[in-house]
Each structure stands twice: as structure tokens, then as C-alpha cells.
Amino acid sequence: MSTPGDKLGYESMPLDRTGQAEAFDAIGDRYDEAFPHKEGQVTSAEWLIRSLPAGARVLDLGCGTGIPTALQLAKAGLQVVGVDLSETMVALARDNVPTGVFHQADIADLRPGGPRDLGRFDAVAAFFSLLMLPRAEIPLTLRTVHHLLPPGGLFALSMVEADVDDFSIPFIGSTIRVSGYLGDELREVVEAADFEIVEESSYTYAPSSADVPPEVQIFLRCRRRT
């Protein structure tokens, strides 16, 4: 029997999460030391805070430790719900953001008709979490975000600019698989999921090794169109 989730196209897609949560379980609270640059997340969360009414309900998708985003949103008086695949990240987020509600769950579980129904949200933030999915899943996830929002609902997304699909990279003593797009393609994928991009910023960070190109982070601030 098909479910509404099947209509998104998940039924023909085996979901392989091997090693993804384990890498973040292993990193634990060293994650925030290893990735100290949070300017983009802070700026996009400020946009959410100034655009939303008091007490609005916001989903932090792939919330990690809850720092900085869930904490920033909660301190601004928003109702924060966080979701992350990693049990350790969820435990850290619960400690860091006592007023938030955090669930250990897969992003894919939130699809329409999927196993986790967390209700609807006024806004969704997904900072560097969709990059943990294979490219084939990213448009489906964007449709899930669309489904979780009302028309006009806010969506703040960030990705690393890179033309890769399910590509293995070393990650603080573990290996993770990541996907990305070049800027124009990312905008096309987001707009195809019926979001209007209302603001954009990017940040370039030099790597610690001279052999590796700089990392370009793209932040899109969007509204659900219809």
C-alpha cells in the first residue's frame, strides 16, 4: 500500500546511513571546537527571529549539539524542536538547550506519511545537515520541509559549495559521506521544491592544510511559495 510519503519517491530508494550517526556520536562535544565558525548560522537565525512572531514553532533539522542555533532561537522565546540522527548529539542538545524538545530521528522519517509526525512548524532551519544525504534524497527532503511549513513559512538552509554526491571524506577521526552542489545548481534545486530565496550570504574559510581548497558555505533564507 502506498503512503503519502511514497509519493515523494522514497519507496524506491534504499536509505543508507552506515557510519553517519556513528561519526557524530564519536565526535560528541568536540564538534563545536572543530567547527568554530558559526557566523552564518547566527545571521540566518537572526533573520528567523526578526521575521517570526513571538512563540513561533521552529524545527532545527540536524541540530547537532544545539549550539548555536537551537540555543539562539530558544533564548529569543521561540519554541524549538530539534531532530538529529546521532544519539550523542541529541543528548548534548538537551543539556545545552533545556527549553528545547529534541528527538533522535532521521530527517527522512519526517516525510509526509513517514514514521515521525512532529506536527507543523512556522520555520525550519537545516544548517549543514542536508549535505549528509545522497543527492537523490535532497529534493525529497526539501519537499518534506515544504510539507512541514505553511505557505509563506520560513526555511533557512546552509550547504557547503561542492559538486559531489555521497562522497566519502575524513571527518575528525571518522569517515562521513557528503553531497553538495555548486551555487547555481543549489538555488535551482531549492526553487524547484517551491521555495522563494529571499536572502543569501556566503562565507569562505581557509582550510588548515594548504593542499585543500577553501570551504565556501552558502546560506539561503527562503519562504515556502504556495
Ligand X SMILES: C[S@@+](CC[C@H](N)C(=O)[O-])C[C@H]1O[C@@H](n2cnc3c(N)ncnc32)[C@H](O)[C@@H]1O
Question: Is residue 110 part of the contact set for ligand X (CB under 6 A)?
Answer: no
| Closest distance to ligand X from the beta carbon of 153 (Å) | 19
Helices (H), the chain: 4-8, 20-27, 31-34, 39-51, 69-75, 87-96, 138-148, 183-192
Q: Applying CB under 6 A, which of residues 5, 10, 84, 190 lies at the interface with ligand X?
A: 84
**Which of the ranges 121-129, 148-156, 200-208, 217-225 carries the binding residues for ligand X, by CB under 6 A?**
121-129
For residues 32 and 25, give the distance between their C-alpha atoms in angstroms, rounded to a whole number: 13
Question: Is residue 121 part of the contact set for ligand X (CB under 6 A)?
Answer: no
Q: Which is nearer to ligand X, 41 or 96 (CB)?
A: 41
Q: Applying CB under 6 A, which of residues 44, 72, 129, 217 lies at the interface with ligand X?
A: 129
Helices (H), 77-124: 87-96
Question: Is residue 24 part of the contact set for ligand X (CB under 6 A)?
Answer: yes
The contacts of residue 69 (CB under 8 Å, 6+ apart) are 41, 45, 60, 63, 125, 127
Task: Write down the number of H helices and E strands in the chain.
Answer: 8, 9
Query: Would you tell me which residues interact with ligand X (CB under 6 A)?
Result: 17, 20-21, 24, 41, 62-64, 83-86, 89, 106-107, 127-129, 132
